Amino acid sequence: MDKIKQQLDALWPVVMGVGLNILWALLALFVTWIAAKLVSRAIGRLTERGIDETLVPVLDTLAVWGTYVVGGLVVLDIFGANTTSLVALLGAAGLAIGLALKDTLQCIAAGFVLLGLRPFRVGETIQFGSTIGTVRKVGLFTTELDTVDGLRVSAPNDKVWGETLTNFTRNASRRIEIIASIAYGDDIETGMNVLRRLVAEEPRILADPEPAFAVRALADSSVNLHLRAWTTTADYWDVYWSLMKQLKPALEAEGLTIPFPQRELHIVNQAEKRPLEKAVHE
């Protein structure tokens, strides 16, 4: 019994030390969790101070994970781990993981390039490849967009950066182009006047740059008149649809015709052709 008591007496300080370390570690984890929440909330309010909304998700992710890493190092230090060696070990492991996950790292690198150069921001409508949508979030790995038909698209950052990007909403104004086809028997100047009247009656069309009217092509079945006019980006589709709706009745009111595709067929009578061929050969 004395020997057991002696062993217990010797073991008790060790148990107390480990127990205290566990309590301190749990406290450190709790503080880390609270700190991560506070950091995330503070970064979420950066938009109120003029920080671009596009940067917020990435900053939030980096700050939260950085807080957890610091908290983890504190816990390891509580248990007496050699954090210096651990950091070196993590660096070596990170190199190996980086080589294995090079495609993922390309997404991260492309994400930072997109955030640095800012070819688009949250809320802007873009196209890359065949994908068109409104940007909702630029993360470390993916860019999220909402398409015009209500779908959520999540595209790897390197795929977005690797394509030619078209930003539909970055500039303040856009040019509308409309083709009006009239028949060859119609008066061209009358058709031009119809286009000029439509532009004059549309207050959302900008005076500068000045609208342009021209004959675009003498096509197979029609004379194609070309209208170019500028409007604000926000009004682009409303103005375009309004002009297209008014175009047909306006042309018809002036007696102009929108022709269907036509072809002229010349049929040669074979019975009449044979005597002529015979005479030529003789």
pLDDT of 181: 93
pLDDT of 241: 96
Structural domain includes residue 264: no
CATH of the domain at 229: 3.30.70.100
pLDDT of 256: 92
Amino acid occupying residue 204: R
Residues of the chain where predicted confidence (pLDDT) is lower than 70? 1-19, 21, 43-44, 46-56, 58, 78-102, 262, 264, 268-282
7 and 96 inside one domain: yes
Structural domain includes residue 275: no
pLDDT of 190: 94
Structural domain includes residue 138: yes
| 136/124 Cα distance (integer angstroms) | 8
Domain count of the chain? 3
Structural domain includes residue 269: no
CATH of the domain at 28: 1.10.287.1260
Structural domain includes residue 33: yes
Are 136 and 54 a contacting pair, CB within 8 Å?
Answer: no
| 278/63 Cα distance (integer angstroms) | 94
162 and 220 inside one domain: no
Structural domain includes residue 112: no
pTM of the model: 0.63
Residue 220 DSSP SS3: coil
Supply the range of the domain harboring residue 127: 118-167
Residue range 221-250, pLDDT digits in tens: 899 999 999 999 999 999 999 999 999 999
123 and 89 inside one domain: no
Residue range 56-98, pLDDT digits in tens: 676 777 777 777 777 777 777 766 666 566 666 666 666 555 5
200 and 177 inside one domain: yes
228 and 181 inside one domain: yes
CATH of the domain at 148: 2.30.30.60
pLDDT of 183: 92
pLDDT of 271: 59
Structural domain includes residue 219: yes
Positive or negative torsion for Cα 122, 127, 131, 132:
positive
How, if at all, do strands 131-138 and 223-232 pair? unpaired
Structural domain includes residue 109: no
16 and 85 inside one domain: yes
61 and 136 inside one domain: no
pLDDT of 167: 94
95 and 123 inside one domain: no
